[in-house]
Amino acid sequence: MDVLVVGGAGYIGSHCVRQLLAAGHRPVVLDNLSQGHRAAVPAGVRLVVGEMDDQALVRRVLREERIGLVMHFAALINVGESVRQPERYHRNNVVATLGLLAAMEAEDVRRLVFSSTCATYGVPERMPMSEDLPQRPINPYGQNKLDVENALRGLAAEGRMRFAAFRYFNAAGAAEDGAIGEDHAPETHLIPLAIAAALGRRPPLEVFGADYPTPDGTCLRDYVHVDDLARAHIAVFPKLEAPGAALFYNLGTGVPTSVRDILLAVDCATGKAVPHTFGPRREGDPPALYADASKARRELGWEPRHATIDPIVATAVRWHLAHPAGFGDR
């Protein structure tokens, strides 16, 4: 399959590009490099630097490369920032996505895999979280993703697009061979922050809340290895052959992991204690979020190869030790 990977120079997209190559597909990357990295795109893979809603550019690339399917990872991803800059988030994550979809339709490319998020559920009514829970996002970022899901539902109902939307839980880890990993600026994700604190590259970590109704008082989240996420994107291809395909899957391991569990895993993998302090809870952080991913298991035969947190953190630590400045391009 000839696949356009939009946002393919970013964290999850770049891991997907490598998985596509390994599975014998031909990826082409489109990324504006606002967060992505040139060096995350393997040699021999075409990188087109540009905006996903640049109609002329996207249409030309779809045509030139005879693209059959688009994977769409491009978004602004910082939840706190989305609260402060809702218009910017709406413009980039929703309006620009509609531009991408229009270019696809104009070139008759009608298969899409979309990166959605568990943040579309807001504060869920029950655990673990299955796809039939009500979606009531509590921040603009989650709302953006739900808006796109709804737009896709509409297009699919009219026979104009076939799609799968994956609602990721917390992407984590790095490529097994250490070639690529997570390098966001600013970084807001717990594992890279904890590793940087352990390695003395940033001040002690502030843990938000130690008084949650959880076994150790800290929040529970579901960390899923980035290569496991990537594999699901390829496993879904046959499903997109069905007319009217409009598919939603949660992707997580289903293993609730606390902030303290993460600190212990980082202590263990680095051989250094993560310096940390405890602060108050952060508004809008539910005590627990973890997936029921049985639908993806059942329908896609998807099975995360990394089922526990220690090996996931170990891959991240290997990447950060070998790349103290990340991709070194900022």
Ligand X SMILES: NC(=O)c1ccc[n+]([C@@H]2O[C@H](COP(=O)([O-])OP(=O)(O)OC[C@H]3O[C@@H](n4cnc5c(N)ncnc54)[C@H](O)[C@@H]3O)[C@@H](O)[C@H]2O)c1
Catalytically active residues are 141
Query: In the bound complex, what is the minimum distance in angstroms from residue 32's beta carbon to ligand X?
Result: 4
Nearer to ligand X, 34 or 294 (CB): 34
Query: In the bound complex, what is the minimum distance in angstroms from residue 33's beta carbon to ligand X?
Result: 5
Question: Could you tell me if 256 and 220 are in contact, meaning their C-beta atoms sit under 8 angstroms apart?
Answer: yes
Per rule CB under 6 A, is residue 302 in the interface with ligand X? no
Query: In the bound complex, what is the minimum distance in angstroms from residue 243's beta carbon to ligand X?
Result: 26
Residues 238-267 as x/- pattern, contact with ligand X by CB under 6 A: ------------------------------
Any idea what DSSP says for residue 172?
E
Question: Could you tell me if 289 and 129 are in contact, meaning their C-beta atoms sit under 8 angstroms apart?
Answer: yes
Nearer to ligand X, 2 or 51 (CB): 51
Q: Token digits for 275?
A: 């310096």
From CA 164, how far away is CA 167, in angstroms rounded?
A: 10
List of residues 6+ apart from 121 with CB closer than 8 A: 129, 133, 134, 135, 136, 137, 142, 167, 289
Q: Which residue lies nearest ligand X, judged by its C-beta?
A: 10
Distance of CA 240 to CAs 14, 64, 126, 311, Å? 22, 22, 30, 32
Residues 100-139 as x/- pattern, contact with ligand X by CB under 6 A: ---------------x-x----------------------
Selected from 10, 128, 173, 181, the binder of ligand X by CB under 6 A is 10
Q: What is the 3-state secondary structure (H, E, C) of 218-242?
A: CCEECEEEHHHHHHHHHHCHHHHHC
Question: Three-state DSSP class for 2?
Answer: strand
Residues 18-37 as x/- pattern, contact with ligand X by CB under 6 A: -------------xxxxxx-
Per rule CB under 6 A, is residue 51 in the interface with ligand X? yes
From CA 89, how far away is CA 76, in angstroms rounded?
A: 6
Per rule CB under 6 A, is residue 89 in the interface with ligand X? no
Query: Which residues 171-190 are close enough to bind ligand X by CB under 6 A?
Result: 171, 184
The site for ligand X (CB under 6 A) is made up of: 7, 9-13, 31-36, 51-52, 73-75, 77, 92, 96, 115, 117, 168, 170-171, 184
